[in-house]
Amino acid sequence: MADTQTPHPKYKRVMLKISGEALMGDQGFGLHPPTVQRIAQEVKAVHDLGVEICMVIGGGNVFRGLQGSAQGMERTTADYMGMLATVMNALAMQSALEELGVFTRVISAIRMDEVAEPYIRRRAVRHLEKKRVCVFAGGTGNPYFTTDTAAALRANEMNCEAILMGKNGVDGIYDKDPRTNSDAKRYDKVTYDEVLQKNLKVMDASAIALARDNSLPIVVFSLDEPGGFRGILAGDGTYTMVHGSQKPGTGEAA
């Protein structure tokens, strides 16, 4: 159904990056179906505006490669296990979205043809053009790269206009954790270089560098705020914009 209040969304094609922990609710581990359904409803609200949506979901609610490596597991094996966890989360999100009537494709960087499509860029672009949500799973398909980097990579390959980082418990970027520091400073806008220099913990350094080199804005917002995802597309809401020395989101000289 067309939205009469927001006929022209701010972005036409976006990458939504959320952590695996965002799907576990208050459980501390695994999937919390009501939380998955709530996020799917947020995605549907944006999809109903006609926005083409890519998604990358982390796997930290099931298994985190770095954590496994720290406990003595061989790093490459641990990272592959983390990639498989992202496929599980992607399938859960696909199920929730399709229950809401949103056609969804899970596209995996690791071939597992019985449950997901292999990553073929042109095919993925065609899915987006047909208004299907594309959930990219399996990271980049390589160990030593995080799902942050996978999100930045796929966003560039899909010609997304922005990466939207949905965070738990925070509504933007702060110089320190606002949940434990009452004097934390919040940024409305910050450059890629400032994120790297100040170690602001938005995405990993490889992802920030990839976004910077391709002038891809990053919008950090709270997943806990109902309608927050849709609000950004409507030009409202509370968020922090990560941009270059150009006008945010334009690629033009300031």
In tens, the pLDDT along 8-21 reads 899 999 999 999 99
C-alpha closest to that of 106 among 85, 122, 80, 87: 87
User: 231 and 180 in contact (C-beta within 8 Å)?
Assistant: no
Torsion of CA 31, 86, 153, 118, to 10 degrees: -130
CB burial of residue 116 (10 Å; 0-12, 13-18, 19+): buried
Q: Residue 237: its pLDDT value, please?
A: 83
- The CATH architecture one would assign to domain 13-166+225-237 is 3-Layer(aba) Sandwich (3.40)
What is the mean predicted confidence (pLDDT) over 219-247? 87
**Stated length of the chain:** 254
- Rounded distance, CA 20 to CA 148, Å? 12
Query: Who wins on pLDDT, 243 or 65?
Result: 243
In tens, the pLDDT along 22-40 reads 999 888 888 999 999 999 9
Backbone angles phi, psi at 136, to 5 degrees: -90, 120
C-alpha closest to that of 203 among 147, 244, 143, 241: 147
Q: Residue 254: its pLDDT value, please?
A: 39
User: 221 and 201 in contact (C-beta within 8 Å)?
Assistant: no
What is the DSSP pairing of strand 189-191 with strand 186-187? unpaired
Q: How many C-beta neighbours within 10 Å does residue 205 have?
A: 12
- CA 94 distance to own-chain centroid: 15
- Given a cut of 60, whether residue 246 has pLDDT beyond it is no
- Rounded distance, CA 242 to CA 254, Å? 15
Q: How many C-beta neighbours within 10 Å does residue 68 have?
A: 17
What is the mean predicted confidence (pLDDT) over 94-105? 98
Instruction: Kindly list the distances between the CA atom of residue 93 and the CA atoms of 87, 123, 175, 186, in Å, as whole numbers in the listed order.
Output: 10, 20, 32, 31
- Rounded distance, CA 198 to CA 29, Å? 31
- Rounded distance, CA 161 to CA 217, Å? 7
Token output for 123: 């095919």
- Given a cut of 50, whether residue 155 has pLDDT beyond it is yes
The residue ranges of every structural domain in the chain are 13-166+225-237
Question: Which amino acid is residue 237, in one-letter code?
Answer: G
* Residues above pLDDT 70, as percent of the chain: 91
Q: Residue 26: its pLDDT value, please?
A: 85
CB burial of residue 209 (10 Å; 0-12, 13-18, 19+): middle
